Structure 1
Amino acid sequence: MRFMAAYDMMETARNTNAWLGATARTMASYPAFALASSPGFRMLAAWGEVTERTFQRMIVKPDWNIPPIPGEDGRDHQVDVETVVERPFGDLIRFTVQGRAPMQRRIMLVAPMSGHYATLLRSTVVSLLPDADVFVTDWHNARDIPVSAGKFDVEDYTLYLVEFMKELGPDTNVIAVCQPAPLTLAATALLAEEHPEAQPATLTLIGGPIDPDAAATDVTDFGRRVTMGQLEQSMIQRVGFKYQGAGRMVYPGLLQLSSFMSMNAETHATAMWNQILAVANGTAADHDKHNKFYDEYLAVMDMPAEFYLSTVERIFKGLEVAQNRFSVGGKTVDIGKITNVAVKTVEGGKDDISAPGQCVAALDLLTGLPDEKKASYLEPNAGHYGIFAGGSWRRNIRPLVLDFIDANSGKPDRPARRTKLQAV
């Protein structure tokens, strides 16, 4: 499958389905059919609308679309997105609230590079902005990165995080969500040893596979069953000539999406059918619950092949972080070197991606960190998404994370301003 033809075939299939949906919607919406007694035309138009939107969203990066933030002056303040550090494979961006003075809390959200854009953390950003200045690692779609930019694997990812944290300085509070948790832990350890003056004040790891062997899931079982050769042959393709990254080896977003959806195929099929009925009945809306979820879920990005393969080989199969054997540039990174960065882990009791036990394993690796600087929290009824963006995050986890940041910021006079968020 490591050929451009395979990549282009998937893109052709996606493009064809989007075209079929647009054609069906247009044809079934002719005014001449309005007087027809059969509801078939209305159903065909609805099917076309949902199908076109579904397949078109797969190649579009969602907008951040952050709403205005209420200020203490009683006014709503617009939010701008600014690039702080620009790099070929990802940028460090900042959400600047116009007319607001710098906040005492500075939070760097480390977004996953796991198939979806950093906009997956939009609701997380919205929930934190009233009480903090927020920065996010905004990873780029590998299909748009020229081959001349070189490789990007787990070591490069770690060095990017080191650079971003050095840019922000020691007053930063880092929150790593899911996949980047082990690499963020390694980056913090690297800073502790080589640039201790640039270490963050706190590190919060949410639902990350620090030790994949601590609790089995479908993800860890898959990584154990499949050999690296099988993985490379079945998952890796070359970007076609349509994009700037033509020739780059990637794990295509469309292939990732097919894997995501196959895990809950019946649920997704039911959701799509219900949406077709809603469109046909006139009860659907452009930003209803279905579209808000699937506009983000279906927007996938290609991953650099070397990053995907090295993640499976070194984090899941080799357990290099879990066994404190991870190395960057031939030098072993000792997690025990972290001695004064407060670390908190957050897990979901119903997380089927990073099951309880995988993330909290980080605390055992922090042999040089006093117990009073370690914390953990388990949200019993939360799934994977809920612990960083759902109701569990808004109601329970977010306040605890902010309290943890305040308690370990080194600034006891920090005002405990906290914005209450309505539970949804």
Structure 2
Amino acid sequence: MKYMTTYDLMETVRNTNQWLGASALAMGSYPAVAMVPNPFFRLVAAWGEVTERTFARMIAKPDWNINTVVGADGRDHIVSVEKIVERPFGDLIQFQVHGRPQKARRVLLVAPMSGHYATLLRSTVASLLPDCEVFITDWHNARDIPVSAGKFDVEDYTLYLADFMRHLGPDTHVIAVCQPAPLTLAATAYLAAEEPEAQPRTLTLIGGPIDPDAAKTDVTDFGRRVTMGQLEQFVIQRVGFKYAGVGRLVYPGMLQLTSFMSMNSERHSRAFSEQIMRVAKDEAGDHDKHNRFYDEYLAVMDMTGEFYLSTVERIFKNREIAQNRFEVAGRHVDIAAITDVAVKTVEGANDDISAPGQCIAALDLLTSLPDEKKASHLEPGAGHYGIFAGKSWRNNIRPLVLEFIDANSATPRASKPHLRTV
């Protein structure tokens, strides 16, 4: 499937469905058909509206839509998004809150690069902004990156994270959500050995597959069933002529979206059927619950082919992080090099993506870290999304994470020799 024709065919199908939706909406909205006392045309227009919006969202990058935050003075403070570090495959951005004193807590959110944009963590950012200075990794869509920019795999990802942490300085508190948890742990260990003065103060790992074999899920079973040759042959494609990354090998976001939706196909089908009926009855809104969720869920991005394949092979199949065998540029990244970065893991009891046991495995790898600097939390009844953006995050996990940050902020870091792994 590594042909541009395949990618362009998939984009043609998406574009055609968007056009069909727009056409149906226009046809069902003519004043003339309103004179027909049959609900058929209202249903046609409703189907068209939902269909056009659905397929249009698949190539749109969502906005952050975080405009203001209430300060301690009770005033609304304007929030702007500013690029702090710019790189070809991802930027470090800050949510600058204007007109308020700097907050003591400096938090770096490491967003997943698993098919969705960093805006997936919009509610997480919004919940932290009143109490923290918030930074986040903003990964770019691989289809928009020219081939001349080179490769980007798990080692490059790790080095990007190390650069971002180095830029923000040692008083940073890092929170990694889902997919980047293993590589964020590796980046912290890399700094611990290479540049210990640049290490973050704390590291919180939320629902990440540190050891995918610790608890099996559909995701880990898929990784075991499929060979690397099958993945490379059937899911990796070349970006078509429409985008700047033409010719780049990618794992297309629309393929990832298909796999996401197939896991809960009945629920998604019901949701869209119900939304069509709400639109037909004039009960839907532009930012109702359905549109708020699916505007984000359907907005997918391509990953570089080498990043996707190296993630499956090295993190899931070979378990290099779980077995402390991960290497960057031929140099072993020893997790045991972390000796004074406080580490907390958070898991959801009902997480079917990174099941309980996968994330807490990180603590067993930290053999040089004192027990008083290790912490874990298992949230009862919480699924994957809930532990970083849902009710469980807002009511229980966020306060615990802030307490953990505060408890490990005032302790001065002991000086130690500059260690290098061999």
Q: TM-score by structure 2 length?
A: 0.97
Residue 295, structure 1, aligned to residue 299, structure 2: no
The whole-number CA distance in structure 2 between the counterparts of 1:160 and 1:215 is 29
Q: Tell me the CA shift for residue 411 of structure 1.
A: 5.9
Amino acid in the other structure paired with 1:92: L
| Alignment match, 1:53 | 53
Amino acid in the other structure paired with 2:267: T
Residue 112, structure 1, aligned to residue 112, structure 2: yes
Residue 386, structure 1, aligned to residue 386, structure 2: yes
**Secondary structure in 2 matching 1:192:** helix
The whole-number CA distance in structure 1 between the counterparts of 2:111 and 2:388 is 11
Amino acid in the other structure paired with 1:329: A
Q: Which runs of 5+ in 1 are unaligned?
A: 413-424
Cα shift readout 1:307-346 (whole Å, capped 9, x = no counterpart):
0000000000000000000000001100001000000000
The whole-number CA distance in structure 2 between the counterparts of 1:256 and 1:77 is 37
Q: Tell me the CA shift for residue 73 of structure 1.
A: 1.9
Q: Tell me the CA shift for residue 33 of structure 1.
A: 1.1
Poorly superposed stretches of 4+, deviation over 6 Å: none
Task: Tell me the matched-pair count.
Answer: 412
Matches for 1:21-420 after TM superposition, within 5 Å: 21-410=21-410
The whole-number CA distance in structure 2 between the counterparts of 1:77 and 1:222 is 46
The whole-number CA distance in structure 2 between the counterparts of 1:25 and 1:280 is 11
Contact 2:67 2:80 in 1 (8 A): no
Q: Which runs of 5+ in 2 are unaligned?
A: 413-422
The whole-number CA distance in structure 1 between the counterparts of 2:213 and 2:185 is 17
The whole-number CA distance in structure 1 between the counterparts of 2:233 and 2:409 is 47
Q: Tell me the CA shift for residue 67 of structure 1.
A: 3.5
| Alignment match, 1:419 | none
Contact 2:211 2:361 in 1 (8 A): yes
| Alignment match, 1:417 | none
Q: After the TM superposition, which of the residue ranges 28-37 and 204-213 deviates more from structure 2?
A: 28-37
Cα shift readout 1:55-113 (whole Å, capped 9, x = no counterpart):
00000000001031111222101100000000000000000011112110000000000
The whole-number CA distance in structure 2 between the counterparts of 1:311 and 1:411 is 35
The whole-number CA distance in structure 2 between the counterparts of 1:403 and 1:57 is 38
Change (3 A) 1:50 1:135: same
Query: What root-mean-square deviation, in Å, do the aligned CA atoms of Structure 1 and Structure 2 show?
Result: 0.7
The whole-number CA distance in structure 1 between the counterparts of 2:20 and 2:363 is 52
The whole-number CA distance in structure 2 between the counterparts of 1:134 and 1:341 is 19
Amino acid in the other structure paired with 1:378: L
The whole-number CA distance in structure 1 between the counterparts of 2:218 and 2:410 is 41
The whole-number CA distance in structure 1 between the counterparts of 2:162 and 2:106 is 16
Contact 2:170 2:199 in 1 (8 A): yes
Amino acid in the other structure paired with 1:17: N
Amino acid in the other structure paired with 2:2: R
The whole-number CA distance in structure 1 between the counterparts of 2:342 and 2:32 is 68
The whole-number CA distance in structure 2 between the counterparts of 1:410 and 1:6 is 55
Q: TM-score by structure 1 length?
A: 0.97
Change (3 A) 1:385 1:181: same
Amino acid in the other structure paired with 2:67: P
The whole-number CA distance in structure 2 between the counterparts of 1:30 and 1:78 is 42
| Alignment match, 1:8 | 8
Identical positions, percent: 76
Amino acid in the other structure paired with 2:126: V
The whole-number CA distance in structure 1 between the counterparts of 2:409 and 2:118 is 26
Cα shift readout 1:365-412 (whole Å, capped 9, x = no counterpart):
000000000000000100000000000000000000000000001269
Amino acid in the other structure paired with 1:52: E
| Alignment match, 2:415 | none
**Secondary structure in 1 matching 2:129:** helix
The whole-number CA distance in structure 1 between the counterparts of 2:387 and 2:6 is 36
Amino acid in the other structure paired with 1:184: T
The whole-number CA distance in structure 2 between the counterparts of 1:253 and 1:331 is 32
The whole-number CA distance in structure 2 between the counterparts of 1:71 and 1:363 is 36
Contact 2:253 2:303 in 1 (8 A): yes
